[in-house]
Amino acid sequence: DTGVSQDPRHKITKRGQNVTFRCDPISEHNRLYWYRQTLGQGPEFLTYFQNEAQLEKSRLLSDRFSAERPKGSFSTLEIQRTEQGDSAMYLCASDKGGQRANYGYTFGSGTRLTVV
């Protein structure tokens, strides 16, 4: 297993276009998380999955954002009608889940989105 993989690493898009990112977690990890990070800030939670079930979605996330994990393996994050404020690093992470405490995530290298 090569860790958490994210594709693409970089994406430049015009305002108003739709974009989709993919994340492949560590195979034995049940939980998959999406975070967004802007310059000078820590990662901000977007949503997470336990297997194929989306358990929580941030209230900060507009209806333009949607995420899926159809077979409990890889996940996609789609942003519709992108805005300049969506420019950020989108991070995917995974862990085994199923614990009362969080013992830490394995992150991917992220997808850097630039909306022009």
Partner 1 sequence: TQLLEQSPQFLSIQEGENLTVYCNSSSVFSSLQWYRQEPGEGPVLLVTVVTGGEVKKLKRLTFQFGDARKDSSLHITAAQPGDTGLYLCAGMPHNTNAGKSTFGDGTTLTVKP
> Which residues of the shown chain bind partner 1 in the complex (CB under 8 A)?
4, 6, 33, 35, 40-45, 48, 55-56, 91, 93, 97-110, 112
3-state secondary structure of 93: strand
Q: Which is nearer to partner 1, 58 or 80 (CB)?
A: 58
**Shortest spacing between CB 78 and partner 1, in angstroms:** 20
Burial 1-29 (b: 16+ CB within 10 A, else e): eeebebeeeebebeeeeebebebbbbeeb
**Shortest spacing between CB 56 and partner 1, in angstroms:** 6
Residue 53's region, left for phi above 0, alpha for psi from -120 to 50, else beta, is beta
Q: Which is nearer to partner 1, 79 or 89 (CB)?
A: 89
**Shortest spacing between CB 91 and partner 1, in angstroms:** 5
Q: Which is nearer to partner 1, 87 or 109 (CB)?
A: 109
3-state secondary structure of 102: coil
